[in-house]
């Protein structure tokens, strides 16, 4: 069985997490979160995990070389033998270069890159309409997935518990989009030049995006 490694690109709210779960389930490969990997390495006390701990405990950003080291350890696990999905990494061209170099050194497959393309205004509408139940954590949307009664959670039945997260307010979303376009969007051209990028229109219902994703990964 050949190795299938995948990176998802796309703005916040583009649906990367949803599509990554589909790919993980459909292809039987783990979805790897950078944050989870760092916390696990720290807890395990491995040499690279101890390096990560120094930065994490002091509230500093973990350097790229340490993140790559943690990732190298994680990819050596048995469940990654046939592939994996990277969640939240790389975010910059420097990180993409470091990742490719590490994988080439270890004779691992270079990831295929799926970009979920969604216009900024759609992202703002998606995220700003999201509501979270402060009692049970259920997530709703004022337009696409509303509760049956206004401000009453369908899951737990509590009234007055539906809240808008601070980072789901329109002004905050636009700031997040600016950071994405400045730092992460250049990865699209980076991977396109290397003929590893597939773009999928994410401004459609989830099932249509799912179908195009699985076709791209066939």
- The set of catalytic residues is 16, 91, 130, 165, 176
CB 168 within 8 A of CB 84: no
**C-alpha of 216 from chain center:** 18
The bridge status of strand 162-163 relative to strand 130-133 is antiparallel
Rounded to whole angstroms, how far apart are CA atoms 86 and 32?
5
**C-alpha of 197 from chain center:** 16
Closest CA to 203 of 98, 111, 92, 126: 126
* Side-chain-facing half-sphere of 157: CA atoms under 13 Å: 0
Tokens of residue 76, six digits: 């050596």
Rounded to whole angstroms, how far apart are CA atoms 110 and 191?
11
Q: What does each C-alpha distance from 48 to 57, 104, 144 come to in angstroms?
A: 14, 20, 43
Tokens of residue 68, six digits: 């790559």
């Amino acid at each position: 069985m050949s190795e299938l490694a995948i990176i998802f690109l796309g703005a916040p709210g583009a649906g990367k997490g949803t599509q990554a779960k589909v790919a993980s389930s459909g292809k039987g490969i783990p979805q790897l979160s950078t944050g989870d990997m760092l916390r696990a390495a720290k807890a395990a006390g491995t040499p690279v995990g101890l390096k990560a701990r120094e930065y994490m405990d002091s509230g500093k950003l973990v350097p790229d070389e340490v993140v790559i080291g943690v990732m190298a350890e994680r990819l050596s696990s048995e469940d990654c033998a046939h592939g994996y999905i990277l969640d939240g990494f790389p975010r910059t061209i420097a990180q993409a270069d470091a990742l490719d170099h590490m994988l080439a050194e270890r004779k691992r497959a270079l990831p295929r890159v799926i970009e979920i393309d969604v216009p900024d205004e759609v992202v703002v509408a998606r995220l700003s309409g999201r509501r979270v139940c402060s009692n049970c954590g259920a997530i709703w949307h004022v337009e696409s997935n509303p509760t049956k009664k206004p401000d009453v959670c369908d899951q737990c039945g509590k009234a007055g518990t539906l809240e808008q997260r601070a980072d789901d307010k329109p002004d905050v979303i636009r700031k997040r989009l600016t950071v994405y376009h400045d730092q992460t969007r250049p990865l699209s051209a980076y991977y396109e030049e290397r003929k590893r990028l597939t773009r999928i229109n994410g401004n459609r219902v989830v099932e249509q995006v799912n179908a195009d994703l699985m076709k791209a990964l066939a």
